[in-house]
A = this chain, B = another copy of it.
Amino acid sequence: MTTPHTSRVRAGVVGATGYGGLELVRLLAAHPAVELTYLAGSKDGGPDFTEWFPHLAGVIEAPLHAFDPAACAERCDAVFVALPSGASGQVAAELWERGRRVIDLSGDLRVPADLYRAWYKREPVDPAVQTAAVYGLPEWHRDRIAEATLVANPGCYATAILLGLLPLAVAGWLSPAHPVLVDAKSGVTGAGRTPTLNTHLGELYENFFPYKVGAHQHTPEIEQELGRHVEAKVLLTTQLLPVARGIYAVSYVTLDRAADVGQVYALYRETYKHAPFVRVHAPGRVPQMKHVRGSNFCDIGLFVDERTGVVQVFSVIDNLTKGAAGQAVQNFNLMHGLPETMGLAGGPMFP
């Protein structure tokens, strides 16, 4: 049901049966410059993708393949790889080495081998591949992404938090003397589609709890990106919300200078004036998680507490869109010289 377009890019999704993959399919099916030519899951496939995912009947007509690198590379100009970390990077590397443009949505290509080992407790992919991958945060690496053939799509938490903190880091206001405390909350789709006790509605409904306290694997990519500007330590607390989608991050920052909320707001407005997906709220207004649902927006709210001097940055995304598939499509657009917002202009679904 997509609009015709001259010379569409033939695109594939590997890992199409996970939540990130399904969101990619939803977005790519409506993308005017994409022809969706290859869908593969982690297991055996069949002739009709919608047999497993009836919500997409009438939206796409495609088989679900068992992944085969050669077939994938033959049918696609560009491939989104959305497999679990530990499997995804290797597949991405293989397709990239076959000359395809690749966007990897996993954590496998975001940080160097030593950090990967330390935080993922697993052997990394070939360091040469990792080094070749551009960190795909478009608001901050637009030019490099435009020239990239391999992109490491940022983590969902990292996206919200970096968009919230980078303006302070770049401006030199973020003090290395104080750790940045980030209290972040995520909907359950961030935990993937495999059923577990933690994602069982009987357990999570009317519930709320942290997980991976002080040990979340998005920490190093946040510190790495901030580290281009300031040596900052981040304490990331990740918590599970009893909802399907959304990330709400509150970052507590002690500046190394006095600044009122007007100055902070001016900094963010200036920083993001050309970023179509970042919406900075006026002082005194807080973003709501549902205001970005299903969209590629990141909403940011800013407070400066007069009693303590602490700056609070509220940053909100849909973890499956700006935090995964939407941002991947944004990267795809940049890599192919297309308008950054193409296929991503739909408004959030509220309510």
A contact set with B: CB distance below 8 Å: 1-3, 19, 22, 25-26, 29-30, 32, 53-60, 179, 181, 183, 185, 187-189, 191, 193, 195-197, 199-211, 213-214, 233, 235, 237, 239, 241-246, 248, 250, 252, 276-277, 279, 281, 285-294, 297, 299, 301, 303, 305-310, 312, 314, 320, 341, 345-351
Interface centre among A60, A195, A292 (most CB of B within 10 A): A195
The closest CB in chain B to the CB of A59 belongs to: B347
Tell me, in angstroms, the Cα distance from A260 to B235 when the chains sit together.
16
**Among B56, B241, B310, B341, which residue has its beta carbon within 8 angstroms of that of A241?**
B241
- Asked if B179 contacts A58 (CB within 8 A), the reply is no
- Inter-chain contacts of A181 with B (CB < 8 A): 181, 252, 308, 310
The closest CB in chain B to the CB of A28 belongs to: B347
**Among B2, B233, B244, B287, which residue has its beta carbon within 8 angstroms of that of A201?**
B244
- Asked if A347 contacts B290 (CB within 8 A), the reply is no
- Asked if A244 contacts B202 (CB within 8 A), the reply is yes
**Among B244, B276, B310, B350, which residue has its beta carbon within 8 angstroms of that of A351?**
B244
- Asked if B210 contacts A55 (CB within 8 A), the reply is no
- Asked if A345 contacts B305 (CB within 8 A), the reply is no
Query: In whole Å, how far is A306's beta carbon from the nearest beta carbon of chain B?
Result: 8
- Asked if B58 contacts A297 (CB within 8 A), the reply is yes
The closest CB in chain B to the CB of A185 belongs to: B208
- Inter-chain contacts of A205 with B (CB < 8 A): 188, 201, 205-206, 242-244, 351
- Asked if B193 contacts A195 (CB within 8 A), the reply is no
* Complex copy number for this chain: 4
A350 and B22 in contact, given A195-B196, A208-B243, A248-B208 (Cβ under 8 angstroms): yes
- Asked if B246 contacts A312 (CB within 8 A), the reply is no
Interface centre among A211, A248, A301, A306 (most CB of B within 10 A): A248
- Asked if A208 contacts B346 (CB within 8 A), the reply is no
Tell me, in angstroms, the Cα distance from A53 to B189 when the chains sit together.
25
Query: In whole Å, how far is A87's beta carbon from the nearest beta carbon of chain B?
Result: 20
Tell me, in angstroms, the Cα distance from A305 to B219 when the chains sit together.
13
**Among B25, B233, B341, which residue has its beta carbon within 8 angstroms of that of A1?**
B341
- Inter-chain contacts of A233 with B (CB < 8 A): 307-308
Tell me, in angstroms, the Cα distance from A100 to B287 when the chains sit together.
38
- Asked if B26 contacts A347 (CB within 8 A), the reply is yes
- Inter-chain contacts of A310 with B (CB < 8 A): 179, 181, 235
